[in-house]
Structure 1
Amino acid sequence: MPPTTQHVARTDAGLASELRVAVMRLRRRLAIEREPGNDIGIGVMAVLACLYRRGELSVGELAAYERVQPPSMTRAVRKLEEKGYVARRPHETDGRQVLVSLTDAGRDLVLADRRRRDEWLASRLRGLSADDRAALRAALPILDRLAAED
């Protein structure tokens, strides 16, 4: 008989395994809850979210934030530009660089996508006990530290 989640999570290795599974399952579920008609892949959608959070960035900066190679980011930016979600312009002082910014359509897509996912998650949270919601609130800073960029 396989060990229970509670038993496995008693060790750091077990906790790591169970946390990874739970976070990935939640991520997959949230990925399903996308804005209808959004045909952009989740990885490319992350580029829009990065621009929304950080503002105008170079292709190289975007690649670094998303931890992909610059040629991959160039392809993603080209796809987003073709769909009207981002605009590119030359850097003022470095002619080799291109700066990328969100268009109004890109911002609207990010906000609609977030709103839909937040609504789904809020509805799930309402089904939890007050103690469970309090435990999640207490865990948020810890999860943020775990997820922090190096």
Structure 2
Amino acid sequence: MNHLSSAARIRRGLVRLNRRLRQERGDGSLSPGRLEVLGHLHRNGAATPGEVAAALRQRPQSLTRVFAELEAEGLLAREAGTADRRRSVLSVTDAGRSALERDMAERDAWLARALASLSPTERGVLELAAELMERVADTETLG
């Protein structure tokens, strides 16, 4: 199997699993856009709206409404920057962290049940694959 067909097969598997994980989210779960913003801030710490947009490969204007909605719901805090008071800094609130944890817990519970049907060796292969996918995701674009 060549690298291209291998890449296509892995992509298809990831897309299907991602779709299934989205289906396992309960009512009242965070929208994908909100989840992405809160998840980024949770993993990487406070950041300016521009930094969040750049990390998510979006234009800041595209996320303005998401930022405002998260702030209005108390899931995200906005404070004036220390170096430049005109630039705001976004961070996840305790309520935002709780919302993220609830959202992840629902999907993790489904995945744990699905993994229970696999052999220990198969689960080990998937754990190794998860580690490798993290490395691939962190690979800089060549070109």
The number of residue pairs the alignment matches comes to 140
Normalised TM-score (structure 1) = 0.86
Q: Deviations over 1:4-51 (max 9, x none)?
A: xxxxxx22111111111100110111112224322x321221101111
Q: Indicate if the aligned counterparts of 1:35 and 1:112 stay in contact, CA closer than 8 A.
A: no
Residues 75-123 of structure 1 deviation map (CA, whole Å, 9 limit, x = unaligned): 2101211222111111122133111111221110001111111111111
Instruction: Determine helix, strand or coil for the equivalent of 1:127.
Output: coil
Verify the 8 A CA contact 1:30 1:117 in the aligned structure 2: yes
Write the letter of the residue equivalent to 1:16: A
- How many percent identity over aligned positions? 37
Corresponding residue number in structure 2 for 1:4: none
How much does 1:149 deviate? 5.3
- Asked whether the 8 Å contact 1:58–1:97 carries over to 2, the reply is yes
Alignment match, 1:143? 133
Question: Are residues 1:14 and 2:13 paired?
Answer: no
* 2:85 matches 1:95: yes
Q: Give the residue type in structure 1 aligned to 2:66.
A: A
Aligned mates of 2:62, 2:139 — CA distance in 1: 20
Deviation, structure 1 residue 57: 1.1
RMSD, matched Cα: 1.4
Q: Given the two structures, how large is their TM-score scaled by the length of structure 2?
A: 0.90
Cα drift, residue 58 of structure 1: 0.8
Gaps of 5+ in 2: none
Name the counterpart of 2:102: 112
| Higher Rg of the two aligned structures | 1
Secondary structure (helix, strand or coil) at the match of 1:57 reads coil
Larger relative contact order (CA 8 Å, sep ≥ 6): 2
